[in-house]
Structure 1
Amino acid sequence: MPAEIGVRPFRQRFPWIGGDLQTIRDFIVRPVEPVPAAASQTLSFEMPDGTGDTLIGIHDRPAEPVAGRPLAILIHGLTGCAESLYVRRAARTFLEAGFSTLRLNLRGAGASRPLCRQQYHSGRSEDLAAVIDRVLGLDGADAVTTDDVAPDGVALVGWSLGANMLLKGAAEFGAQKGVRGAVAISAPIDLMGTARNFTILRNTAYHRHLLAAMRAEVAGVPGGLTALERDRLAAARSVIAFDDAFTAPRNGFADAADYYARNSASGFLARIAIPTRVIHALDDPWIPKAGYLTVDWEACPSVQATLTRHGGHVGFHAPGGVWSDAEAVRFLAGL
């Protein structure tokens, strides 16, 4: 198992003991998490691919900024958005540490939904590239410039699907665009293994919940679904069937297997050339640990992998707060 000097061991917070309770804690306890920003503004990012799709992000500024810290772009997971509890909570931690944050709604998610005919997926890293180009002033546009949003560059933080997308993007363009660092939390780096894992008996409740949320999300696609898509989605009884019916054909993949094979972050890790932290719990009920234990981490010199025994999926609830958020801040503050 990879080891890293100086990482504080994760300790579970009672009563959230075990992978399942760590995972569902935020579904049981949903505290109001106001984002303590000194100022916030809504930013629009029109995608340069000719679709007319526009992503919406919330730029939050800290009350006490710390010089030299990059803009932290926060990337939600599947069926999430910029207002998801874990994103808002992480924004609070970053703001309190003097970082500015950009809580991004991916294509077709949250506030981006009515402005997008297309939909995000695990490998749509080109959307991240377009947002980075805009905030760093690399695309020639005037609406958002490096002086008013990201004077000290950018860093990426993602959860679950957003973490897989982040790792793929870090390999493809991170160094070329000068991304200063990245943190991926609970990334499904083996997409087929994760999709199959949902179909086992113990994960039936998770699977039903996620599939229902996925159906509800795409039901609002501007322009609507085709009759064939509606029929196939109604018949889909698994995440794999959903991706066969919707995600793959909508994005030019032959089928779900092709989509998973071409976008799983495990195939990109060795190409990452920016400082990157991977945080994952081996008791994550959604993502099988084999995908992480079979990676040759020594062949990924820019990646620090921290695999904890406990933490669940996007959990890491520890005494005093969310451990993965604190570790993400610590890692990026030390760049």
Structure 2
Amino acid sequence: MADGSGDVLLGALNRGTGDKPLAVLVHGLTGCQDSYYVLATAKALQGRGHPVLRLNLRGAGPSAGSCRQRYHAGRTQDIRAVLSQLPPDLAGQGLVLVGYSLGGNAVLKFLGEGDFPVPVRAGCAVSAPIDLASSSRRFLAPDNRAYHKWLLGKMKAEMQAGAGLLEDRWVRAAATAQSVWQFDDTIVGPWNGWGGAEQYYRVNSAIGFLLGIAVPTLLVHALDDPWIPGDPYLSFPWHAHPNLVPLLPTRGGHVGFHGRGGVWHDRALLAFLDNVGA
């Protein structure tokens, strides 16, 4: 990375078989290049001829041992920096960006900001928490207690994996965090220059950037997602923004959509790309 941190982001590249645009896949919170949903989409896109870059965000997965900083839901400058370093032969047909959950929020924010170092032909977000504050509150619901404990444990383990490179104060704060909100309030917010969780959520929620998206973008979100509320999707004026294509089924869970013939959101993505010629 060119920010003086010395951090190195890693990814896995799957070569394509045709002249399709490069697909860059951005995982969710505590995910990585080998998350099951990333691998499933990569397989589907490769079958269509796309080269696929499965990117690890800063400090995630294989990147944990080479980074002194950590990703968050709005760290779009890292995506921009990676894309700017792609070799011309790989990005010559443009890009398709796909993000899942937290990575979906980051992809949507990036698309809304514009300033692409290489041409972006289409985007897709699956189960993205476009209102970060409402999602953080949903984690605290009594029926999400088991998932919240599991997710917070993975967040702490992710911090511990880079303990030799990270400042001790952040590692200690992670070890004592009692909730995702507290993790964001005492680590993510102040580490990145915000006053706490609420400012971090307000500045980085994708819903504030959707109006700026100028490329065809598919947003897939199940209204029965137990962790990401559907209300922000239902209240958005989609009809006034033809570049945005919402798919809001009543069922599907969180980055789920499992069914006969493969994962439904991957089949929807392929149909969408066919429709927009990407």
Query: TM-score, normalised to structure 1's length?
Result: 0.79
- 1:223-251: CA deviation from partner (whole Å, max 9, x where unpaired): 45555434433332110001112111111
Q: d(CA) in 1 for partners of 2:146 and 2:185?
A: 21
- Name the structure 2 match of 1:252: 193
Seen in structure 2, the aligned counterparts of structure 1 residues 57 and 226 have a Cα distance that, compared at 3 Å, is closer
1:104 is aligned to 55
8 Å contact 2:159–2:171 — kept in the other structure? Answer: no
Contact 2:68 2:166 in 1 (8 A): no
Query: Aligned partners of 1:161, 1:174: CA distance in 2, in Å?
Result: 21
Matched-pair contact (CA < 8 Å) for 1:275–1:303: yes
Letter aligned with residue 88 of structure 2: T
Q: Give 2:205's match in structure 1, choosing from 252, 256, 264.
A: 264
- Check conservation: 2:57, 2:71, Cα contact below 8 A: yes
2:48 maps to a residue whose letter is A
Partner residue, 2:88: 146
Deviations 1:228-287 (A, max 9, x none): 434433332110001112111111111000000000000000111111110110000010
Cα deviation for residue 120 of structure 1 reads 0.5
CA–CA distance in structure 2, aligned partners of residues 174 and 275 of structure 1: 16
SS of aligned partner of 2:97: strand
Deviation of the 1:207 alpha carbon: 0.3
Max Rg structure:
1
Corresponding letter in the other structure for 2:8: T
Where do residues 9-48 of structure 1 align in structure 2 (5 Å cutoff)?
47-48=1-2
Aligned equivalents of 1:121 and 1:246: distance in 2?
Answer: 11
- Alpha-carbon spacing, 1:175–1:299, altered in 2? closer, same or farther (3 Å): farther
Name which of structure 1's ranges 165-174 and 274-283 shifts more when overlaid on structure 2: 165-174
CA contact (8 A) 2:56 2:62 kept: yes
Q: Normalised by the size of structure 2, how large is the TM-score?
A: 0.95
Query: Alignment partner for residue 220 of structure 1, among 157, 161, 179?
Result: 161
Which deviates more from structure 2 when the two are superposed, residues 251-260 or residues 287-296?
Answer: 287-296
Does the aligned pair in 1 maintain the 2:94–2:118 contact within 8 Å? no
3-state SS, counterpart of residue 14 of structure 2: strand
Q: What is aligned with 2:35? A: 84
Aligned with residue 83 of structure 2, among 122, 129, 132: 132
Say whether the 8 Å CA contact 2:257–2:264 is kept in structure 1: yes
Counterpart for residue 327 of structure 1: 268
Is 1:50 matched with 2:4? yes
**Could you tell me which residue of structure 2 aligns to residue 17 of structure 1?**
none
SS at match of 1:94: helix
Pairs aligned (count): 276
Q: Whose relative contact order is higher, 1 or 2, with alpha carbons under 8 Å and at least 6 apart? A: 1
Aligned counterparts of 2:171 and 2:3: Cα–Cα separation in 1: 26
CA contact (8 A) 1:72 1:101 kept: yes
Q: What letter matches 1:146 in structure 2?
A: P
Relative to structure 1, the CA distance from residue 198 to residue 131 in structure 2 (aligned partners, 3 Å threshold; closer, same or farther) is same
Tell me, in whole angstroms, the C-alpha distance in 2 between the residues paired with 1:229 and 1:146: 38
Paired AA for residue 297 in structure 1: W
Match of 2:246 in 1: 305
Q: Which residue of 2 aligns with 1:66?
A: 18
Q: C-alpha separation between the residues in 1 aligned to 2:116 and 2:242? A: 14
Deviation at 1:131, TM superposition (A): 1.3
Unmatched 5+ residue regions in structure 2? Answer: none
Aligned-pair distance for 1:83? Answer: 0.8
Instruction: Letter of the 2:173 partner, please give it.
Output: R
